[in-house]
């Protein structure tokens, strides 16, 4: 390392750098369990990812990662709890797509998604599946669009919440394909899928881990996936973009901390999560769930959040979607 030091750079000066408060914080952190706020239901893919990755990070740092599911107002209840928490690295927030879109869906959110929270990392992302009840009698996206056009407003489309990623993807599909369907919001993916399987609704956009057991068992039919290219995760299923060029979207999950959390702690968390995501058993498990591991830098996640917000904000404004908390 000597060749990197300027002449006269003393050993005492070097020692002072590594003894700085920031370095000390990173070395001692964490000294107690970390609470990971998850503003989503148990059992869905965010819950699975949070507990899988959180467990590995906890093992690595020697402290438990306590996942707390606090559902409400499309994720804003749990988010606000983290915003109000001390910026000491002991309360973190796991978010999915709606974190980027809530500001366009709700008036007067009690926090700013960008200035009140610090990005840590984008953890995973993966496609959603357009699935239908087999009794609908369609086998391809083209047939679905043709049927929807022949019966405007007659097809029922389930969503796991009025502002969920699946709902926004269908709004985008309505724009691109020129179809009209009736949205039926449910409180969670599990309930929505149960209604789809039971035939109470006709179709849904759902994340692969949520719907995979159903289409493998033949209870629903997978028409298309929202990734840019086909994937072995859902073999033989074409992309939406093959019918509607340029159409793509994904489910994703990232990690945030309260604003003003020390950069040394952000960097430590980023490194630990990246290490957990690189573990072969973690990558294999997430692949089974239809998710690709990412492990981005904080700056990359910040850019991703802003891009997602802008993209889906345009859809929300175009469709004049507004929700009440």
Any idea what the CATH number is for the domain that residue 193 is in? 3.40.190.10
Q: Are residues 67 and 134 part of one domain? A: no
The pLDDT score that the predictor gives to residue 24 is: 59
- Mark whether 225 and 269 lie in a shared domain: no
* The domain boundary residue, chosen from 242, 259, 284: 242
What is the average pLDDT across 218-239? Answer: 92
Helix (H, G, I), strand (E, B) or coil at 316: helix
**DSSP conformation class of 184:** E
Pairing of strands 34-38, 65-69: parallel
User: 152 φ, ψ to 5°?
Assistant: -55, 125
pLDDT tens figures, 284-320: 999 888 889 999 999 999 999 999 999 999 999 998 8
Range of the domain at 213: 128-242
Structure tokens at 265: 């702690």
Per the structure, the count of domains in the chain is 2
Cβ-contact 196, 133 below 8 angstroms = yes
- 137-196: per-residue pLDDT in tens? 999 999 999 999 999 999 999 998 777 889 999 999 999 999 999 999 888 788 999 999
CA 191-49-46 angle, to 5 degrees, is: 35
Mean pLDDT, to the nearest integer, of 53-63?
A: 97
CA distances from 81 to 11, 163, 263, 317 (A): 45, 20, 21, 28
Q: Is the dihedral of CA 54, 55, 61, 64 positive or negative?
A: positive
């Amino acid at each position: 390392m000597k060749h990197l030091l300027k002449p006269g750079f003393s050993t005492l000066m070097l020692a002072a750098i590594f003894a700085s408060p920031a370095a000390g914080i990173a070395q001692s952190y964490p000294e107690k369990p970390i609470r990971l706020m998850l503003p989503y239901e148990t059992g869905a893919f965010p819950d699975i990812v949070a507990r899988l990755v959180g467990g590995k990070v906890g093992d690595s740092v020697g402290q438990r990662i306590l996942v707390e599911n606090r559902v409400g107002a499309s994720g804003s209840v749990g988010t606000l709890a983290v915003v109000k928490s001390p910026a000491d690295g002991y309360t973190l927030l796991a978010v999915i797509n709606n974190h980027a879109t809530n500001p366009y869906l709700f008036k007067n959110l009690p926090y700013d998604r960008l200035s009140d929270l610090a990005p840590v990392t984008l953890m995973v992302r993966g496609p959603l599946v357009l699935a239908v009840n087999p009794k609908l009698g369609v086998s391809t996206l083209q047939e679905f669009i043709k049927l929807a056009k022949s019966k405007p407003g007659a097809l029922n489309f389930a969503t796991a919440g009025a502002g969920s990623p699946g709902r926004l993807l269908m709004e985008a599909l309505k724009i691109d394909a020129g179809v009209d369907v009736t949205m039926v919001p449910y409180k969670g993916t599990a309930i929505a899928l149960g209604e789809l399987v039971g035939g109470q609704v006709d179709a849904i956009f759902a994340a692969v881990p949520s719907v995979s057991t159903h289409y493998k068992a033949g209870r629903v039919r997978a028409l298309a996936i929202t990734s840019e290219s086909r994937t072995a995760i859902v073999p033989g299923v074409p992309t939406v973009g093959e019918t509607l060029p340029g159409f793509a979207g994904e489910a994703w999950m990232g990690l945030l901390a309260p604003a003003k959390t020390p950069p040394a702690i952000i960097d430590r968390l980023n490194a630990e999560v990246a290490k957990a995501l690189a573990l072969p058993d973690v990558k294999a498990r997430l692949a089974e769930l239809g998710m690709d591991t990412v492990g981005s830098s904080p700056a990359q996640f910040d850019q991703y959040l802003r891009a997602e917000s802008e993209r889906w904000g345009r859809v929300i404004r175009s469709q004049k979607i507004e929700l009440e908390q």
